[in-house]
Structure 1
Amino acid sequence: MITPLEIQNKEFKRGIRGYKEDEVDEFLDQIMIDYEKLYKENIELKDKLEAAHHQMDQYKGIEETLKNTLIVAQNAAEDVRASAHKKSELIIQEAESKAGDIIAKAHREVEDIRNEFESTKKQMQIFKTRFRTLLQSQLDSLIESSDELVEENQDSQTA
């Protein structure tokens, strides 16, 4: 590619009926200025393009990192969810086991209370029977005593 400096330093041979040297020089100066602008603009655009490619590569790297991070996060979330599910199942099983133990204990206590009630009921029945027997015996004894007194009283009145 031709550089602006090469355009500036270019010299043409002179011919017999050549172009006017001032017009050619002026035209070459104008071309050199325009070409220099285009040349610099081309270099700037190449630099910008290179920077854009570099930035795009960085974004691709970031995108890949984000994809991997998202996958790791999804896996971690699944692991946490699965762990929480297992833990909840264990808590439920433990609660059901404790509930079963509490119910069994309550049934035993109810059974113990029933047995104690039955025992107390039997003791009360025995007590009633003994008390009735005692009262009957005392009543019989009183009746005998009273009959003896009445007989003694009658014997003492007849005598």
Structure 2
Amino acid sequence: MITAMEIRNQQFNKSLRGYNPEEVKNFQYRLAQDFENIYSENSQLKESLQKVRYELERYHKLEETMNNSLILAQQTAEMLKINAQKEADMILEDSKKKIAEAFTVYQEIIKRLNMFNAEIKAQITGELDMLERSQRKADELSDFFFSKDVKDILDNLGKLDMEARNDTKDNTP
């Protein structure tokens, strides 16, 4: 590739009716200036293109990493969801078993309580029967002892007792 310096230093042979050397030199100078500008701009564009390619590659890697991270996050979320569902199912089953056990225990307690109540009721009924029989006997005895015949007997005994005392008093010297 030709450089700006080569353009500036290019020498042309002179001929009889050749070009005006000053015009050629001016043209060479302008051409070298434009070439330098284009060459410099081309270098800057190449450098800028290289930076853009580097950034693009970096963004592609970042995108790939983000996609992988997103996939991993989705997989992890799905696994967590599945595990949470399994744990919830286990907790639910365990709760059902505990509730069933509690109901069984409560049913057993209620059965025993009913049996206890029945026994107490039977005992109380027996005691009430005995109390009623005892009350009837007491009533019969009351009726007997507070009857007119017993009062008459007691009155007669009281009279006899008084007569016997009087007799004893009379017989005393």
TM over 0.5: same fold?
A: yes
- TM alignment of 1:1-159, pairs within 5 A: 1-145=1-145, 149=150, 152=153
Give, in whole Å, the separation in 1 of the partners of 2:29 and 2:35. 10
Give, in whole Å, the separation in 2 of the partners of 1:10 and 1:129. 148
Specify every segment of 5 or more residues in structure 1 that has no aligned partner in the other structure, as ranges: none
Structure 1 counterpart of 2:131, one-letter code: F
Root mean square deviation, CA, Å: 2.2
Q: Which residue of 1 aligns with 2:167?
A: none
Identify which range, 142-151 or 44-53, moves more after superposition: 142-151
Deviation at 1:153, TM superposition (A): 5.9
Deviation at 1:23, TM superposition (A): 0.6
Identify which range, 68-77 or 133-142, moves more after superposition: 133-142
Deviation at 1:41, TM superposition (A): 0.4
Deviation at 1:22, TM superposition (A): 0.5
Give, in whole Å, the separation in 2 of the partners of 1:153 and 1:40. 157
Q: What TM-score, normalized to structure 1?
A: 0.87
Give, in whole Å, the separation in 2 of the partners of 1:7 and 1:131. 145
CA shift digits 1:71-120 (9 cap, x unpaired): 11111111111111111112212222222222222222222221121111
Give, in whole Å, the separation in 1 of the partners of 2:136 and 2:100. 53
Give, in whole Å, the separation in 1 of the partners of 2:18 and 2:57. 56
Structure 1 counterpart of 2:88, one-letter code: S
Give, in whole Å, the separation in 1 of the partners of 2:25 and 2:146. 173
Higher relative contact order (CA 8 A, sep 6+): 1
Structure 2 counterpart of 1:78, one-letter code: E
Specify every segment of 5 or more residues in structure 2 that has no aligned partner in the other structure, as ranges: 158-173
Identity score, percent? 24
Structure 1 counterpart of 2:150, one-letter code: L
Q: What TM-score, normalized to structure 2?
A: 0.81
